[in-house]
Structure 1
Amino acid sequence: MSGQEKPGRKPTSFDVARRAGVSRAAVSRTFTPNASVSPETREKVVKAAKELGYRVNYLARGLINRRSDFVGVVAAGMDNPFRAMQIEQITKKLVRRNFRPILLPADHGESADHVMDQLLHYNVSGVLVTSDAPPTALCAEFAAAGVPIVLINKADAIPAVDRVVCDTDTAGRLAATTLLEAGARHLAVVSASAISYTARRRQQAFLACCHALEADVRVIPVAVNDYANGLAAAERLDGVDGVFCVNDYMACGLIDGLRRRGVAVPHSVRVIGHDDVPQAAWGSYELTTMRQPCDLQADQAIDLLTSRMAEPEMAERVELTPVTLVRRATA
């Protein structure tokens, strides 16, 4: 440490500039994504910063600039393996684009006011909201405050708020035709449709296809689309030989519940899920499912967010994420 830098004091950009022999503006450009700075200057600044233990205070920079590099990611249902996949892709891709994600949980049934309020304190550049949380009114408030928002797999149509939604119509139709082509004649869909917009749309598409093909079908309603409710739903499938679970998390529970009853899958009951979580490919399940590509969906959402940042006045848009059938052993 040089004699000009006091021990016990946090190093500043002035200290870095002094040690590197450059201007403070050069230090600022070095730590600003996509700013113009020569390789030689960058190397000197990074070396000096490392020696001093200097870190950029991005929060303070955001307060000065009125917008930070932070992007809020609001998610519910973190116990679902698909949500873990989704959040991983969103956060990784945000970092690659020089944003800093802030993950805030907002579980279904709890007030999301405090979660969204925290994001305002960080002067976030934008917010990505996954299905089930938060409510429409809060999203509308953010949009009205000029904070770009993108909703992922949510129904709400809000002015100046963009959405990314998976292709639920294709998913429901593919599930029905795949089960029927496999020989199932008495079908059921297991879904907590009141909670999730995409679950409700998948259920509706599945039922519509079954009715169009004059297939015998019924709904097995559950409280939540999770493993425990799938396990319990297995007790209510008498007379059913083909089942569509609106997500894989619940389908895995259903398969385990059927096995407890001594019901063979797929010989007695065929099962199809949705999402293609890692567990779906496990040898204990080998679940036939619909792949919802969360990597593509993350790119779609971030593209919408960044374009909304650049042109906040444009009309709201909806991007459709395609789904594909993944054939395994259960159907």
Structure 2
Amino acid sequence: MRSSDNPSRKATSFDVARQAGVSRATVSRTFTPNASVSPETREKVHKAAKELGYRVNYLARSLINRRSDLVGIVVAGMDNPFRAQQVHEIAKALVSRNFRPILLPADQGESADHVMDQLLHYNVSGVLVTSDAPPTELCREFAVHGIPIVLINKGDPIPLVDRVISDNATAGRVAAETLVECGAKQLAVLSASHVSYAARHREAAFVARGMDLGCAPRVVPVLINDYQNGLAAGRDLDGIDGLFCINDYMACGVIDALRTKPQDPKNRIRLIGHDDIGQAAWQAYGLTTFRQPCDIQASQAIDLLISRMADPELEERTVLTPVTLVRRVTA
């Protein structure tokens, strides 16, 4: 009796092999990425699997292979549209390369160690970290266990841990130059640098270039780089006519705050953000910003992950993701 005649029993690879008229090893190869199987045989196996309702048990396979197809994504700040866009591109890129993403959220501005510790129990093939506080000791522990880990826009160098970093120095430098070219003389940067690696480096580059241009930029600190902190800071920007927000999410808050108070057209605030989230192009914002290409960054991170799977002893590497200034109405 076929398994399809008995709904209470799940179809197995033996059932599929029998129905397709092939060996069980052929069925296994058919469902193994990049394995050598003829198109005719692959079609025959997939047809039998569909008829029987067969699904590969990847978790069971991972117990046999001692490595799953799961890749952990540790992420914080999912309320930020850029983070959602970033995770979408990472997950899409992983699936296209026959990995299965597992998402673990961490709290914004807090250590992600409790989240990453959970991943050690999932037999993951690798980990991508986008949270603001990657735990150095756990990163080292992953490396010791031979589990590749890639930090995206995070942290200082850690042995055997690779990083993908946006070109924060260029963003900060060009932001200062662009604001000055627009006529701004009193520059400032809005940044929660204490919780974000990217914020620290964008802020530092902006201040350094502003000093070179004779503007002595102010640093306006906030608790978190989010919309609400941008909204609050935007209500008190007296004496500033050129502002760099280290992300668009916060810049949108600033723009909404500025709408609530009258501005002298001759002394309007020129504003630049970073990330080029979808909202930046909305008519309500028209935000000049730096595009950080999430698709390129995702591909870079997965390339590093795969190469380290092949050779865990590689020296740690850092790959730079380019940024592009997108001019709109705010600067």
TM-score (norm 1): 0.96
CA distance in 1, matches of 2:240, 2:89: 37
Q: Percent identity?
A: 72
Q: Secondary structure at the match of 2:159?
A: coil
* Partner in structure 2 of residue 43 of structure 1: 43
8 A contact 1:72–1:101 mirrored in 2: yes
CA distance in 2, matches of 1:298, 1:77: 18
Matches within 5 A, 1:204-219: 204-219=204-219
Which stretch shifts more, 244-253 or 66-75?
Answer: 66-75
Which stretch shifts more, 236-245 or 131-140?
Answer: 131-140
Q: Secondary structure at the match of 1:117?
A: helix
CA distance in 2, matches of 1:290, 1:64: 46
**Cα gap change, 1:273/1:111 in structure 2, threshold over 3 Å: closer, same or farther?**
closer
* Partner in structure 2 of residue 248 of structure 1: 248
Q: Secondary structure at the match of 2:235?
A: helix
**Cα gap change, 1:12/1:187 in structure 2, threshold over 3 Å: closer, same or farther?**
same
* Partner in structure 2 of residue 189 of structure 1: 189
CA distance in 2, matches of 1:265, 1:298: 41
Amino acid at match of 2:292: Q
Cα shift at 1:178 = 0.3
CA distance in 2, matches of 1:117, 1:28: 32
Matches within 5 A, 1:259-278: 259-263=259-263, 268-278=268-278
Q: Secondary structure at the match of 2:46?
A: helix
Matches within 5 A, 1:230-249: 230-249=230-249
Matches within 5 A, 1:69-108: 69-108=69-108
CA distance in 1, matches of 2:140, 2:80: 27
Superimposed CA distance per residue, residues 89-112 of structure 1 (whole angstroms, 9 cap, x where no aligned partner)? 111011111111111111135553
Alignment of 1:148 with 2:144, yes or no, is no
Structure 2 residue runs without a partner (length 5+) = none
Superimposed CA distance per residue, residues 162-196 of structure 1 (whole angstroms, 9 cap, x where no aligned partner)? 00001111000010000000001111100000000
**Cα gap change, 1:242/1:131 in structure 2, threshold over 3 Å: closer, same or farther?**
same
**Cα gap change, 1:7/1:82 in structure 2, threshold over 3 Å: closer, same or farther?**
closer
Cα shift at 1:41 = 1.2
**Cα gap change, 1:256/1:64 in structure 2, threshold over 3 Å: closer, same or farther?**
same
Q: Secondary structure at the match of 1:115?
A: helix
8 A contact 2:184–2:242 mirrored in 1: yes
CA distance in 2, matches of 1:71, 1:265: 51
**Cα gap change, 1:204/1:113 in structure 2, threshold over 3 Å: closer, same or farther?**
closer
CA distance in 2, matches of 1:105, 1:3: 39
Q: Secondary structure at the match of 2:124?
A: coil
* Partner in structure 1 of residue 20 of structure 2: 20
Cα shift at 1:265 = 8.0
CA distance in 2, matches of 1:265, 1:20: 75
8 A contact 1:255–1:265 mirrored in 2: no
**Cα gap change, 1:296/1:307 in structure 2, threshold over 3 Å: closer, same or farther?**
same
Amino acid at match of 1:55: R
* Partner in structure 2 of residue 33 of structure 1: 33
* Partner in structure 1 of residue 316 of structure 2: 316
TM-score (norm 2): 0.96
8 A contact 1:74–1:133 mirrored in 2: no
CA distance in 1, matches of 2:185, 2:62: 59
CA distance in 1, matches of 2:22, 2:130: 44
Q: Secondary structure at the match of 1:121?
A: coil
Cα shift at 1:133 = 3.7
Amino acid at match of 2:330: T
Amino acid at match of 2:302: I
CA distance in 2, matches of 1:315, 1:4: 52
Superimposed CA distance per residue, residues 59-115 of structure 1 (whole angstroms, 9 cap, x where no aligned partner)? 110111110111111111111111011111111011111111111111135553442
Cα shift at 1:216 = 3.8
Q: Secondary structure at the match of 1:98?
A: coil
Amino acid at match of 1:229: N
* Partner in structure 2 of residue 306 of structure 1: 306
**Cα gap change, 1:221/1:109 in structure 2, threshold over 3 Å: closer, same or farther?**
closer
8 A contact 2:71–2:102 mirrored in 1: yes
Which stretch shifts more, 13-22 or 126-135?
Answer: 126-135
CA distance in 2, matches of 1:78, 1:3: 43
